[in-house]
Amino acid sequence: MTNPAVLQSKAITSPADAQGATMAAGVSAVLGTYRPAAPLFTRAQGCRVFDSDGNAYLDFASGIGVNALGYGDPGIVAALQAQLDTGLVHLSNLYRTAPGELLARELVAHSFADRVFFCNSGAEANEAAFKFARRFARGLGGAAKHEIVALRGAFHGRLFGALAATDRPALQQPFEPLMPGVRFIEPGDVAGARAAISRARTAAIIVEPVQGEGGVKPLPPAFLRALREIADDADALLIFDEVQCGLGRTGRLFAYEASGVTPDILTLAKPLAGGLPMGATLVVERVAAAVQPGDHATTFGGGPLVAAVALHVFGRLADPEFLAGVRESGAHLERQLDGLCALSSVSEVRGSGLMWGMELKVAAGPVAGAALEAGLLVTAAGEKVLRLLPPLVIGPNEIDEGVAILHEVLS
């Protein structure tokens, strides 16, 4: 046995002792697919998290765009408690429960979509989108009409289908062969899109209206409009992946609203259930009509506990006053960030709402590390982009405090 976490726990008599000693030593039995920062976080409130030594950190990361309502939101706690009190945490999709049906109704009422499939993550939502698109396309053009067109710089997740549409050779190559039938085009390249998309072969085009992991890059509305037209000409579906940029993050309920272009399929996840795992794939009726019982499924998807919490979260995020608040806070953050553009380490600041990227002239990872030491959680998106995704409930003083820390670490 070579795992130090396990070796160490052998000398300890109670499980609590073992846990404490293992954590104190900074040794973990969790598989090393992550390289977490050193502090051990033990509680959180509002827009702040606290480590085991009682140090407070202001959060400009929101658990990578998840904690839109911050930490300890009383409505989330109440929704959780009320559902727990019913005893129905899970029942399976073999039986009907109310929270998922109510949530689907709300998502449909506030969007272009007619039906919703629930799952447990962003990658799963995209996998479902690909399956529904292929199911639909098969009815139009047989098995040949199966290709997915994605964008350079895209990130759609790490399961085999989603990974195939993710433009990260370093993440893909160790696991090849991936799902075949994916072509990449450059963002903004309308001629390239026309050349890659065909009536005979293309099932769907997938894009993030604002590329998140690719460095917080909004796609030009004119390009989205062109893709809509090209998709229609080729009888291909347009999929928007709003796992990161959707649900209020850009100051609108859905990022696509800024372009006036509606997709045929939309994927959501991160903030949907307030930190509980949930994804959703929204589709128009003609796609829904092609999908048959048994075509796709997931044991946990849309279970009553996560759906009850999501119903509360979505109600908050869809409130026009809440969204106006996000735009106001976003405008404040933008003004403060503009002040940082004078620093020699910063080359550009871009974004909208509370989704911002700072293009640096230096590597972003060490800057995020220095910010953590100075009491600010912030993440990198790509090599030189520092990404700011504060909780959507952040106030102006907290924004100023976070930007002051950024100023200090970037100077």
Ligand X SMILES: Cc1ncc(COP(=O)(O)O)c(C=O)c1O
> Is the distance from CB of 258 to CB of 250 less than 8 angstroms?
yes
The binder of ligand X chosen from 70, 141, 153, 157 (CB under 6 A) = 157
- 199 contacts 141 by C-beta, under 8 angstroms: yes
CB of 33 to ligand X, least distance (A): 12
Q: Which is nearer to ligand X, 150 or 326 (CB)?
A: 150
Give the nearest distance from C-beta 313 to ligand X in angstroms.
15
| Alpha-carbon span 382 to 86, nearest angstrom | 44
- Asked whether position 302 contacts ligand X by CB under 6 A, the answer is no
Show contacts with ligand X in window 124-143 (CB under 6 A): 126
Secondary structure element (H or E) that encloses residue 192, with its range: helix 190-196
- Please give the C-alpha separations between residue 237 and each of 123, 269, 282, in angstroms, as whole numbers: 18, 20, 13
Taking CB atoms, the residue at the shortest distance from ligand X is 122
Distances (CA, A) of 32 to 3, 28, 35, 36: 11, 9, 7, 9
Among 213, 264, 359, 398, binds ligand X (CB under 6 A): 213
204 Cβ neighbours under 8 A, 6+ residues apart: 129, 130, 133, 134, 137, 148, 149, 231, 236, 237, 238, 239, 264, 265
- Nearer to ligand X among residue 185 and residue 355 (C-beta): 355
CB of 208 to ligand X, least distance (A): 5
Q: Segment contacting ligand X (CB under 6 A): 26-34, 52-60, 149-157, 225-233?
A: 149-157
Stretch binding ligand X (CB under 6 A), from 43-51, 153-161, 300-308, 395-403: 153-161
Residue 48: closest CA among 74, 70, 15: 70
Give the Å distances, CA to CA, from 295 to 97, 131, 140, 290, 291: 21, 8, 17, 10, 6
Three-state DSSP class for residue 284: coil
Q: Which amino acid is at 411?
A: S
Q: Which two three-digit tokens encode residue 90?
A: 């899970």
State yes or no: residue 244 binds ligand X (CB under 6 A): yes
Return d(Cα 53, Cα 59) in angstroms, integer: 17
Q: Is residue 121 a contact point for ligand X (CB under 6 A)?
A: yes
Single residue of 99, 141, 153, 212 touching ligand X by CB under 6 A: 212
268-297 footprint of ligand X as x/- string (CB under 6 A)? -x----------------------------
Measured from the CB atom, the residue of 146 and 156 that comes closer to ligand X is 156
Rg (CA), the chain: 22
Nearer to ligand X, 265 or 409 (CB): 265
In the block, residue with structure tokens 């909004």: 218
Q: What are phi and psi of 129, to 5 degrees?
A: -60, -45
Among 134, 146, 156, 316, binds ligand X (CB under 6 A): 156
Structure tokens at 44: 């959180």
Closest CB to ligand X among residues 227, 234: 227
For residue 359, state whether it binds ligand X (rule: CB under 6 A): no
| DSSP string of 52-70, one letter each residue | TT--EEEESSHHHHT-TT-
The CB-of-198 to ligand X minimum distance in angstroms stands at 25
Query: Whole-number minimum distance, CB 72 to ligand X, in Å?
Result: 22
Site size for ligand X, by CB under 6 A? 15
Rule CB under 6 A: say whether 167 interacts with ligand X.
no
Stretch that binds ligand X, among 50-58, 144-152, 237-245, 289-297 (CB under 6 A): 237-245
Strand partners, 268: 280
Question: Of 268 and 410, which CB lies nearer to ligand X in the complex structure?
Answer: 268
Nearer to ligand X, 242 or 359 (CB): 242
- Smallest distance from the beta carbon of 67 to ligand X, in angstroms? 14
If the CB atoms of residues 129 and 290 are measured against ligand X, the closer one turns out to be 129
Q: Per CB under 6 A, which of residues 322..351 are in contact with ligand X?
A: none
Instruction: Tell me which of 196, 205, 206, 243 binds ligand X, using CB under 6 A.
Output: 243
Q: With CA atoms as reference, report the closest residue to 357 among 223, 214, 228, 219.
A: 214
Chain residues in the site for ligand X (CB under 6 A): 64, 121-123, 126, 155-157, 208, 212-213, 241, 243-244, 269
